[in-house]
Amino acid sequence: MINASAAGVIETCRKNRDKIGTLYAGQNGILGALHENLIDTSKETASTIAALKHCPGGAFGSCRYKMKDIKDSTAEYERLIEVFKAHNIGYFFYNGGGDSADTCLKVSQISAKMGYPIQAIHIPKTIDNDLPFTDCSPGFGSVAKYIAVSTKEASLDIASMAASSTKIFILEVMGRHAGWIAAAGGLAAEEAGDPPHIIVFPEIPFVREQFIAKVEETVKEKGYCVVVASEGASYADGALISGSLNKDAFGHQQLGGVAPTLASMVKHSLGYKYHYALADYLQRSARHVASKTDVEQAYAVGLAAVEKALQGASSIMVTIERSAAKRYNWSLGEADLVKVANVEKKMPRSFIRKDGFGITKKARDYLQPLIMGEDYPPYKNGIPQYPRLKKILVEKKLATGFTD
Q: What is the pLDDT of residues 55-87, one digit of tens each?
A: 999 999 999 888 888 888 888 999 999 999 999
Largest CA distance in the chain: 72
Q: What is the pLDDT, as a whole number, of residue 402?
A: 83
Mention every residue, 6+ apart, whose C-beta is less than 8 A from residue 225. 167, 168, 169, 195, 197, 198, 215, 218, 219
Identity of residue 58: G
CB-based contact 370:293 (threshold 8 Å): yes
Can you list the domains of the chain with their CATH numbers? 2-138+289-343+373-384 (3.40.50.450), 141-287 (3.40.50.460)
The upper half-sphere exposure of residue 368, i.e. CA atoms within 13 Å in the direction of its Cβ, equals: 13
Q: What is the pLDDT, as a whole number, of residue 244?
A: 45
Active site residues: 128
Helix (H, G, I), strand (E, B) or coil at 169: strand
Helix H, strand E, coil C: the string for 288-341 is: HHCEHHHHHHHHHHHHHHHHHHHCCCCCEEEEEEECCCCCCCEEEEEEEHHHHC
- How many Å apart are CA 44 and CA 6, to the nearest integer? 13
In sequence order, what are the beta bridge partners of 77?
Answer: none
CA separation, residue 235 to residues 206, 241, 347, 350, 356 (Å): 5, 7, 17, 20, 13
Element (H, E) at 253: strand 253-255
- pLDDT cut 90: percent of the chain above it: 87
Mean pLDDT value across residues 347-359? 97
Kindly provide the b/e burial profile for residues 303-324, where b requires at least 16 CB atoms within 10 angstroms of the residue's own CB: bbbbebbeeebbbbbbbbeeee
Q: What is the pLDDT of residues 294-346, one digit of tens each?
A: 999 999 999 999 999 999 999 999 999 999 988 999 999 999 999 999 899 99
- pLDDT cut 70: percent of the chain above it: 96
Q: What is the pLDDT, as a whole number, of residue 256?
A: 61
Q: What is the pLDDT, as a whole number, of residue 158?
A: 97
Q: What is the pLDDT, as a whole number, of residue 255?
A: 61
Q: What is the pLDDT of residues 120-154, one digit of tens each?
A: 999 999 999 999 999 999 999 999 999 999 999 99
Mention every residue, 6+ apart, whose C-beta is less than 8 A from residue 170. 226, 227, 228, 229, 259, 262, 263, 274, 275, 276, 277
Q: What is the pLDDT, as a whole number, of residue 304?
A: 98
Helix (H, G, I), strand (E, B) or coil at 41: helix
CB-based contact 371:184 (threshold 8 Å): yes
Mention every residue, 6+ apart, whose C-beta is less than 8 A from residue 87. 24, 38, 394, 397
CB-based contact 351:122 (threshold 8 Å): no
pTM of this structure: 0.94
- Going by pLDDT thresholds of 50, 70 and 90, the confidence category of residue 373 is very high
Helix (H, G, I), strand (E, B) or coil at 346: coil
Mean pLDDT value across residues 367-386? 97
Alpha helices in 137-189 (DSSP H): 140-161, 180-184
CB-based contact 394:23 (threshold 8 Å): no
- How many Å apart are CA 176 and CA 179, to the nearest integer? 8
Q: What is the pLDDT, as a whole number, of residue 245?
A: 44
Q: DSSP assignment of 51-117, as one string?
A: HGGG--S-TT-----PPPPTTT--HHHHHHHHHHHHTT--EEEEEESHHHHHHHHHHHHHHHHH---
Assess whether pLDDT exceeds 60 at residue 201: yes
Mention every residue, 6+ apart, whose C-beta is less than 8 A from residue 191. none
Q: Are strands 243-247 and 253-255 parallel, antiparallel or unpaired?
A: antiparallel
Average pLDDT over all residues of the chain: 94
Q: What is the pLDDT of residues 229-254, one digit of tens each?
A: 999 999 999 989 975 444 544 454 54
Q: What is the pLDDT of residues 252-262, one digit of tens each?
A: 454 668 999 99
CA 346 to chain centre: 14
